[in-house]
Amino acid sequence: MARILAGFALLFAGLVVVTAVMLRWAWPMLETWRMAPRVAFEALPALPADAYAQSAMWLARPDLAGDPARAMPPGLASGRRGRAYVFFLHPSTYLGRDHWNAPLDHRDSQMRARLAVRSMASVFNDEAAVYAPRYRQAALGTFLVDTGASQSALALAERDARAAFATFVRSIPPDAPIVMAGDSQGALITLHLLRDVVRGTPLAARIVAVYLAGWPVSPRHDLPLTAMRACNRADQTGCVMAWMTFAEPADPQPTLASTAHYPALDGSFADDPPLCSNPLTGGAAPAAPASMNRGSFATGDELSDGALVRPSVGARCERGVLLVTNPPHLGDLVMPGNNYGMYDFALFWRNLRSDVALREAAWLRARGAS
């Protein structure tokens, strides 16, 4: 009897292991089935030429009441007013399967977009102004399928972002410094803007820095096409900070797999580890203890919530991703694999505010301005 019971125990343990392995292998396919759009792709018309002249097309803009980018933790006041104007593209927030591109009137998607702007773009609200457009982003599920439709959905989203960026450039002073930032899908589209709209133009000299989170940026296949280098010191300008945040124990593979069918800027498929810039060190070092973190912003999952969290977490770069241990609870939007992408900026909120201020000061000094 003991042998029989032992045999059943071994068989059960073996089935558990096999099931776990099969689920790990099949999980991407299950997620694809659950999230991928279930309708034919619809080629939507371009927005009207003056679309972004309308305040309703912006989540953040200097003249907007209730602008989520102006969020500040209680008890902390803005200590400066910089000269840079910030263009920010929010991450994927449309989770539906009924469209390949988010309808602009989709309430839940727009609510999540406002939360993202509050959590992320608020890093930059010490600067002259933050502009964050609404755009017909590609649905989150499009990143789980490798089809022509997924590429077409991204192209449509990028077309909107280009129109918004053109309006942004026309709206700000002609010689003002510019900061560009994006997260996830917004980071990918910002890379395309750098290659196709900024590189080789007078705009390039106006770029203080670029902050790209939540998307793998290839040092070999992306950066050369932007004509920018990775930031490797705190006072460097015209450079790129890029990182993807995961808490330990981390499993970045599902996230990296969802981006693998999007070609790098040079048209190839990147085979090098992503650029990992540590927000706590300005890219100067790959690791930093928690004592270097000046505070995270817990915006919560409601627009009315918010608090500065100290002490916060350290961070270190490892195999192209930014790893944090025991992060504070900033909200309930942690993604599979312990992906803290929705908190890419919030975890390092006060450090990033200092980072952009240092780079802007260096940009102004180089031009004899004070």
Q: According to the model, what pLDDT value does residue 12 have?
A: 34
The pairing of strands 245-247 and 321-324 is: parallel
Burial class (CB in 10 A: 0-12, 13-18, 19+), 52: buried
In a domain, 63, yes or no: yes
- Cβ atoms within 10 Å of 148's Cβ, excluding its own: 8
In a domain, 232, yes or no: yes
In a domain, 334, yes or no: yes
**Start-to-end CA span in the chain (Å):** 86
Cα separation, 134 vs 303, in Å, equals 17
Cα separation, 315 vs 340, in Å, equals 12
User: What is the domain count for the chain?
Assistant: 1
Whether 136 has a pLDDT exceeding 80, the answer reads yes
Whether 26 has a pLDDT exceeding 80, the answer reads no
Q: Concatenated DSSP letters for 179-247? A: EEEEETHHHHHHHHHIIIIITTSGGGGGEEEEEEESSPPPTTTTHHHHT-EEP-STT--SEEEEE-EEE
Nearest partner of 118 among 93, 84, 85, judged by Cα: 93
Picking from 79-83, 112-116, 218-222, 237-241, which range would have the lowest pLDDT averaged per residue?
79-83
Residue with more model confidence, 311 or 280: 280
Helix (H, G, I), strand (E, B) or coil at 318: strand
In a domain, 7, yes or no: no
In a domain, 257, yes or no: yes
351 in Cβ contact with 339 (< 8 Å): no
Kindly state the tokens that stand for 308. 């500065």
Range list of β-strands (E), 34-120: 58-60, 85-89
In a domain, 68, yes or no: yes
- Considering just the CA atoms, what is the radius of gyration of the chain in Å? 21
Q: Note the pTM of the prediction, 2 decimals.
A: 0.90
Picking from 72-76, 204-208, 325-329, which range would have the lowest pLDDT averaged per residue?
72-76
pLDDT digits (tens, 9 = 90+) for 230-251: 999 999 999 999 999 999 999 9
Summarize the confidence of residues 185-200 as an average pLDDT: 98
235 in Cβ contact with 358 (< 8 Å): yes
pLDDT digits (tens, 9 = 90+) for 50-63: 999 999 999 999 99
Cα separation, 346 vs 73, in Å, equals 11
Query: Which of the four pLDDT bands, split at 50, 70 and 90, describes residue 176?
Result: very high
Summarize the confidence of residues 248-262 as an average pLDDT: 93
- Residues paired with residue 129 on neighbouring β-strands, in sequence order: 85
In a domain, 36, yes or no: no
Q: Which domain holds residue 90?
A: 41-366
In a domain, 10, yes or no: no
